[in-house]
Amino acid sequence: MTASRIVCCLLIASLITPIAARGGGFDRAIDAAMPRVVKLYGLGVGAQAGYGTGVVVSSDGLVLTVFSLLIDARQVRAVTSNGTHYEAEVVHRDNARQLALLRLKPPDQSGDPANELRSTGPFTFFDLKCGAAEEAALRPGDWVLAAGNPFKVADGAEPVSVVHGVFSARTRLDARRSVKEFPYQGDVLVIDAITSNPGAPGSAVVDVEGRFVGMIGREVVSNLTHTHFNYAMPRDVLCEFFKEATGVTPRDALAEANASKGGVDPGIRLTRTGYRDIPPMVDRVRRGSAAELAGVRQDDLILSLNGKNVANPEEYDERLRSIATGEGIDLVIRRGRNVVTIRLEPEKR
C-alpha cells in the first residue's frame, strides 16, 4: 500500500468515531451524498492525478465536476455508487470558474446513433433548484460533510471517502496553482475539512441534513497563508454555471431584453458568476455571429468597448445597451500577453 493510501485510510478511520457519535444527523448527510457522487477516471500527467470526483445533478446523468486535465482524456470513465461503469462525455467547460459539466452514457452507446434514445437513468441526483430560494443558509460553525474519492481509494462499488468539518465563512478566493494565479476569484465556502488532496476536487459538500451546499474546487495554495486551502464552490455559483451550460442563462434573458429595446447582440457570451468584480472574460462566441466573423475568441478578456473601459460583465452589458442597431463596435481585448483591437458590426435583432 502506498504512503498516500495509508494516510487516507488513517484519516478515514479517525472519522468513524465522531461521525457515529453524532448519530442521525451525519447518517442523513452520508446517505444523501453517497449515491449522488461518481468516481471519475481519465488522463493524468505528472503531478496531475488521472482520477477525481463528480456530483450527479440530473436524473438523466448530468455530472458537475472541476475543469482539469482529467476531462481532456479521449475517454473519461465514471463509476457510480453501485459499481456501474459509464462513459462520460464533456458537455461544457468553463476555464474562468474551473468547472465542467459531463453526461453519463453506457459504453455501448458511443458512436451509435441508434442507441441515443436508450435511457441511462433515472439517476439519483442533487437538485440544484436554480432560481429557487435557498433551502437553508450555512452559518459559521455549522457542520458539513464532503464525499469524494481522494487518493483513488475507491475503484468500483467501494464507497467513496467522507470527511467532516465546520463551515467558517464565505469569502473571495485569492489563490494560485503552482506559480500561476488561479483563474477563479469569486466567492467560496471556507471549511476546515481536509479536502485539498488528489481526487477530492468535485466532491459533494452537504450540511448535516443532507442538503447540497457546494462542491470541492481544484487544489490551490492560498496567496495569504501560502498553504493548501480547503474550500468549496457555493451552490449558487454552480447554478450559474449549470444554467449557462444547459442554455438557460442570464445572458440569454439579457439578449431578449435588448432585442425588445432595439439593442444589439454581437454574439459574445461572457463568463458570469453573479458577482460584479469578476473580469469580462469571453466564455463562448456564437457560431455565425458578428463576433465570430471578426475573430473574437473564447478566453479573450474585454478591456474596452467603443472607447469606454469595461471592468466587469455588468459594465459590458451597460455599454452594449447604449449602442444603436447597426452601429459598429470596437473592442479592445487582451489575448494572452497581447492587446488586440477588433471591429465588428452587430447583428440586427
Report residue 191 as a C-alpha cell: 471549511
Query: Which residues pair with residue 167 across a beta bridge?
Result: 191
Q: How far is CA 47 from CA 43, 125, 275, in A?
A: 11, 31, 32
* Percent of the chain with pLDDT strictly greater than 70: 77
Is the pLDDT score of 249 beyond 50? no
CATH no. for 249-348: 2.30.42.10
Among residues 274, 278, 258, which one has the least CA distance to residue 266? 258
State the pLDDT at residue 256: 43
Is the pLDDT score of 5 beyond 80? no
Read off the pLDDT band of 75 (50, 70, 90). Answer: confident
For 9-37, how does the pLDDT look when each residue is reduced to its tens digit (9 = 90+)?
Answer: 434 434 433 443 344 568 999 999 999 99
Mean pLDDT of 102-122: 59
DSSP letters spanning 5-56: HHHHHHHHHHHHHHHHHHTHHHHHHHHHHGGGEEEEE---BTTB-SEEEEEE
Residue ranges, comma separated, of all CATH 2.30.42.10 domains in the chain are 249-348
Backbone φ and ψ for 38, nearest 5 degrees, come out as: -120, 150
Among residues 198, 159, 202, which one has the least CA distance to residue 5? 198
Read off the pLDDT band of 176 (50, 70, 90). Answer: confident
Place of cell 457546494: 214
Residue ranges, comma separated, of all CATH 2.40.10.120 domains in the chain are 3-240
pTM over 0.95: no
For 116-173, how does the pLDDT look when each residue is reduced to its tens digit (9 = 90+)?
Answer: 434 456 899 999 877 554 545 789 999 999 999 999 988 888 999 999 999 999 999 9
Q: Say how far apart CA 145 and CA 33 lie, in whole Å.
A: 9
- 20 vs 224, more confident: 224
Mean pLDDT of 62-91: 87
CATH, domain 3-240, list 2.40.10.120, 1.20.1440.230, 3.40.50.300, 3.50.50.60: 2.40.10.120
Q: Say how far apart CA 260 and CA 231 lie, in whole Å.
A: 41
Range in 117-126, 212-221, 320-329, 330-339 the model is least confident about: 117-126
What distance, in Å, lies between the first and last C-alpha atoms of the chain? 63
SS (H, E, C) 153-207: CCCCCCCCEEEEEEEEEEEECCEEECCEECCCCCEEEEECCCCCCCCCCCCEEEE
- 334 vs 114, more confident: 334
DSSP letters spanning 207-218: ETT--EEEEE--
Backbone φ and ψ for 192, nearest 5 degrees, come out as: -100, 5
Q: Say how far apart CA 188 and CA 201 lie, in whole Å.
A: 14
State the pLDDT at residue 3: 44
Mean pLDDT score of the chain: 80
Is the pLDDT score of 86 beyond 60? yes
Read off the pLDDT band of 107 (50, 70, 90). Answer: low
Q: Say how far apart CA 129 and CA 275 lie, in whole Å.
A: 19
Read off the pLDDT band of 68 (50, 70, 90). Answer: confident
State the pLDDT at residue 227: 87
State the pLDDT at residue 101: 94
Q: Say how far apart CA 270 and CA 42 lie, in whole Å.
A: 29
State the pLDDT at residue 110: 47
Among residues 7, 10, 26, 28, which one has the least CA distance to residue 18? 26
State the pLDDT at residue 285: 87
